[in-house]
């Protein structure tokens, strides 16, 4: 088997960023990235594809073009972890040995969990910004719909980019308002959760848009089936005693955010928690049972917002801590739970939610520049013009602007093996 200082599972936002951050700190370290995908997507851009602002081609680059110089790329899927012998196996029969392992494979979009959805996705007015294939179909629907009923759904938490389901809705409404046809379209937000957005500071601004667009806000309604041919979506509600009721709703356009869960190869591994997520400490991102394993991104059980913004703050923490473990020292770099969600409330305006663990607001900019709790044009410019560049040219290349990791004087815990 081949042997590396660091093996990285997943060449998405987390995997590439950690590799780049490691090489910035220690150019000679030997690294392999394992990923079956030949393309890498900037998923935050899909909201703007669905909103008619970006072309979807702008959001994707060949994986090979993003692998940092000097890193070995292994085009395969990891199937099994062998944490007691420091190795992983892949679906093409390889075994790769490591001194430290970094795991960032994202999560599973569970389209199959909703009967009827897969069959009709991409036709009959059923769309989703959560996939490269269908994000352009959202904008096509928005342009074609002149009257009728539009439903936007949100599944139970956790989901990646928790604001994305409503971003799709606001951008659609903004376009219908511009065309002066919003009054002829009945818009409903069916959210399985009990609140519009998880961090209370941002809710008043979002509520003002719910009012402005005259959206029916249906909380506690979970999409459980779709009949594309008949254009009927079925929702389930649960009352205080746990009794479930099903409601059928007709639609002309249905934007679905799919239910999300841990990937099977993580769930079935010895490295997951009871719910199937990759089991790491929320501060150091070190695995709870194996000193030389780290995890970041959407696949972990840390209670931050599952966003690329979170990955941007996590990658340097993992890089620091991996290098510590390679020299048999306890990890001291700390992740504070930072995540961000730029909520596109109308074309040209964004409510920029930024917060860390516990829902504590953590703005990157002074309020006179961008007040995250208010819709702003500057925040829109940030999302449209600056953040894609920060992603491709900054974070994937190991530049750590505004996210220097906090280094604790005392390690939060000692290496178990020391």
Catalytic residues: 161, 341
Query: CB-wise, 187 or 305, nearer to ligand FAD?
Result: 305
- Residue 98 is a binding residue for ligand FAD (CB under 6 A): no
Q: Find the binding residues for ligand FAD in span 120-139 (CB under 6 A).
A: 129-130
- Residue 342 is a binding residue for ligand FAD (CB under 6 A): yes
- Residue 370 is a binding residue for ligand FAD (CB under 6 A): no
- Residue 311 is a binding residue for ligand FAD (CB under 6 A): yes
Identify any residues that bridge with 191 across adjacent strands, giving them in sequence order. Answer: 154, 219
Q: What does residue 382 show for φ and ψ, rounded to 5 degrees?
A: -60, -50
- Residue 307 is a binding residue for ligand FAD (CB under 6 A): yes
Contacts of 211 (CB under 8 A, 6+ apart): none
- Residue 106 is a binding residue for ligand FAD (CB under 6 A): yes
What secondary structure, in 3-state letters, does the chain show? CEEEEEEEECCCHHHHHHHHHHHHHCCCCCEEEECCCCEEECHHHHHHHHCCCCCHHHHEEEHHHCCCCCCEEECCCEEEEECCCCEEEECCCCEEEEEEEEECCCCEECHHHCCCHHHHCCCCCEECCCCCCCHHHHHHHHHHCCCEEEEEEECCCCCECCCHHHHHHHHHHHHHHHCCCHHHEEEEEEECCCCCCCCHHHHHHHHHHHHHCCCEEEECCEEEEEECCCCEEEEEEECCCCCEEEEEEECCEEECCCCEECCHHHHCCCCECCCCCECECCCCCEECCCCCEEECHHHECCCCCECHHHHHHHHHHHHHHHHHHHCCCCCCEECCCCEEEEEEEECCEEEEEEEEHHHEECCCCCCCCCCCCCCEHHHHHHHHHHHHHHHHHHHHHCCCCCCCCEECCCCCCCCCCC
User: How far out from the chain centre does Cα 220 lie?
Assistant: 22
Inter-residue contact 115 to 105 (CB < 8 Å): no
Which positions from 45 to 74 touch ligand FAD by CB under 6 A, shown as an x/- string?
-xx---------------------------
Closest separation in Å from C-beta 322 to ligand FAD: 16
Supply 19's token pair. Answer: 């590799």
- Residue 105 is a binding residue for ligand FAD (CB under 6 A): yes
Query: CB-wise, 132 or 326, nearer to ligand FAD?
Result: 132
Identify any residues that bridge with 186 across adjacent strands, giving them in sequence order. Answer: 149
- Residue 414 CB neighbour total at 10 angstroms: 12
Which positions from 214 to 253 touch ligand FAD by CB under 6 A, shown as an x/- string?
----------------------------------------
- Residue 395 is a binding residue for ligand FAD (CB under 6 A): no
Chosen residue from 103, 173, 308, 370 binding ligand FAD by CB under 6 A: 308
Query: CB-wise, 173 or 341, nearer to ligand FAD?
Result: 341
- Residue 104 is a binding residue for ligand FAD (CB under 6 A): yes
Chosen residue from 158, 259, 276, 297 binding ligand FAD by CB under 6 A: 297
- Residue 373 is a binding residue for ligand FAD (CB under 6 A): no
Asked if residue 389 has a cis previous peptide bond (ω within 30° of 0), the answer is no
Query: CB-wise, 116 or 163, nearer to ligand FAD?
Result: 163
Closest separation in Å from C-beta 334 to ligand FAD: 19
Chosen residue from 12, 295, 331, 398 binding ligand FAD by CB under 6 A: 12
- Residue 14 is a binding residue for ligand FAD (CB under 6 A): yes
- Residue 285 is a binding residue for ligand FAD (CB under 6 A): no
Chosen residue from 5, 61, 72, 77 binding ligand FAD by CB under 6 A: 77
- Residue 279 is a binding residue for ligand FAD (CB under 6 A): no
Chosen residue from 18, 19, 23, 35 binding ligand FAD by CB under 6 A: 35
- Cα separation, 224 vs 247, in Å, equals 10
- Among all residues, whose Cβ is closest to ligand FAD? 12
Query: CB-wise, 7 or 332, nearer to ligand FAD?
Result: 7
Query: CB-wise, 164 or 224, nearer to ligand FAD?
Result: 164
Stretch of 6-14, 286-294, 358-366, 394-402 lying at the interface with ligand FAD (CB under 6 A): 6-14
- Residue 78 is a binding residue for ligand FAD (CB under 6 A): yes
Q: What does residue 264 show for φ and ψ, rounded to 5 degrees?
A: -60, -40
Chosen residue from 56, 255, 306, 332 binding ligand FAD by CB under 6 A: 306
Interface residues with ligand FAD (CB under 6 A) are: 9-15, 34-37, 43-44, 46-47, 77-78, 104-106, 129-130, 160-161, 164, 263, 265, 297-299, 306-309, 311, 340, 342
């Amino acid at each position: 088997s081949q042997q590396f200082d660091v093996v990285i599972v997943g060449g998405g936002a987390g995997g590439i960023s950690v590799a780049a951050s490691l090489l910035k700190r220690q150019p000679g370290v030997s690294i392999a990235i394992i990923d079956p995908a030949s393309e890498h997507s900037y998923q935050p851009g899909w909201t703007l594809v669905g909103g008619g602002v970006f072309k979807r081609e702008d959001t994707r680059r060949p994986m090979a073009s993003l692998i940092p110089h000097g890193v070995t790329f292994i085009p395969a899927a990891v199937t099994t972890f062998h944490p007691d012998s420091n190795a992983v196996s892949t679906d093409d029969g390889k075994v790769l040995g490591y001194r430290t392992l970094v795991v960032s494979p994202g999560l599973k979009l569970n389209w199959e969990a909703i009967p009827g959805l897969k069959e009709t996705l991409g036709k009959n007015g059923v769309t989703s910004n959560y996939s490269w294939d269908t994000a352009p179909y959202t904008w096509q629907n928005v342009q074609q719909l002149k009257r009728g009923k539009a439903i936007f759904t949100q599944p139970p938490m956790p989901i990646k980019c928790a604001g994305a389901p409503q971003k799709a809705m606001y951008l659609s409404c903004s376009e219908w308002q511009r065309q002066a046809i919003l009054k002829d379209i009945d818009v409903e937000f069916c959210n399985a959760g009990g609140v519009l957005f998880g961090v209370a500071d941002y809710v008043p601004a979002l509520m003002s848009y719910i009012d402005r667009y005259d959206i029916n806000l249906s909380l506690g309604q979970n999409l459980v089936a779709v009949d594309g041919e008949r254009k009927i979506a079925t929702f389930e509600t649960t009352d205080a005693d746990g009794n479930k009721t099903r409601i059928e709703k007709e639609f002309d356009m249905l934007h679905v955010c799919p239910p999300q869960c841990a990937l099977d190869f993580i769930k079935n591994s010895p490295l997951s928690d009871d719910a199937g997520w990759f089991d790491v400490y929320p501060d150091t991102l070190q695995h709870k049972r194996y000193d030389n394993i780290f995890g970041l991104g959407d696949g972990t059980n840390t209670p931050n917002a599952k966003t690329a913004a979170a990955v941007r703050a996590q990658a340097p923490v993992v890089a620091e801590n991996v290098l510590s473990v390679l020299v048999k020292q306890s990890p001291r770099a700390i992740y504070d739970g930072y995540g961000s969600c730029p909520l596109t409330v109308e074309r040209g305006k964004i409510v920029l939610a930024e917060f860390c663990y516990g829902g504590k607001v953590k703005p990157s900019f002074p309020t006179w520049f961008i007040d995250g709790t208010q819709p702003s044009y500057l925040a829109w410019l940030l999302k449209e013009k600056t953040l894609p560049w920060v992603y491709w040219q900054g974070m994937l290349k190991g530049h750590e602007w505004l996210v220097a990791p906090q280094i604790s004087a005392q390690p939060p815990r000692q290496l178990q093996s020391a």
